[in-house]
Structure 1
Amino acid sequence: MAHFLLRYTLAPDYLDRRAALRDAHLSLAWEATGTGLLLGGAVGDPPAEALLLFDSEAAATAFAGADPYVTQGLVTGWRVDRWITVVGENAATPVRRPEEMVGDDGLEPPTFSV
């Protein structure tokens, strides 16, 4: 498995124009959850970009080509980037947990808490 981020740059008037296309966009997005879309949404308040996480580059590219936000100009630019995920239950290329990584010196790695 691999992860790919579909990155959208949103038009300055995105919020003003979104309502007319939102149902079609969300319908396409929910349909795409069966063919590779894992998560998606706008970033920022007000949003200036959107990120959609896919499990295939082809699915991300196909989605952008069919998305009414793209075809109707609410998205002014888009690109697909491979995202090398290393931590988390669904990481595509997991790296061992710190508690599993005791160095040759016998020292434990630092911990993180909130």
Structure 2
Amino acid sequence: MTAGPHTVLLYDYVADVVERRAPHREAHLAWIREWVDGGSLLSAGALGAPPAGALFVFGDVPAGEVERFADGDPYRAAGLVAGRRVLPWTVVAAAP
């Protein structure tokens, strides 16, 4: 990851996400891969064990694109995302 402007998307999951996510997991992961392959999404993953949310790191893209990602996520459509935040993130240091 390079230093510079990025945008992060934070999800808060519903309490029973682990029990409810199985039918939607493959579509969710395919959605993520599509955005990674397109070059906008740099990194993604669950937060916590068991997961309480997720973090998505986007490159220098408009917040509207990040919102479009979140709106199209199968986890959101299935009601697994209880809340979300889109925030700018200025990276000042990163390993090569």
Quickly name the TM-score band, shorter chain normalised.
0.7 to 0.9
**TM-score, length of structure 1 as denominator length:** 0.74
Matched, 1:68 2:65: no
Number of residue pairs matched by the alignment: 90
Query: Deviation digits for residues 24-54 of structure 1, max 9, x if unmatched?
Result: 0011100001140000010111111100000
Q: Which runs of 5+ in 2 are unaligned?
A: none
Aligned to 2:43: 39
**TM-score, length of structure 2 as denominator length:** 0.87
**Deviation, structure 1 residue 58:** 2.9
List, as ranges, runs of 4+ consecutive aligned residues in structure 1 with deviation greater than 6 Å.
none
**Deviation, structure 1 residue 80:** 0.5
Return the letter of the residue paired with 1:81.
Answer: L
Alignment RMSD, CA only?
Answer: 1.4
Greater relative CO, 1 or 2 (CA 8 Å, sep 6+): 2
Question: Which is richer in strand?
Answer: 2
Q: Which runs of 5+ in 1 are unaligned?
A: 91-114
Question: Which is richer in helix?
Answer: 2
Return the letter of the residue paired with 2:54.
Answer: A
Between the aligned residues of both structures, percent identity stands at 41
Query: Secondary structure in 2 aligned to 1:25?
Result: helix
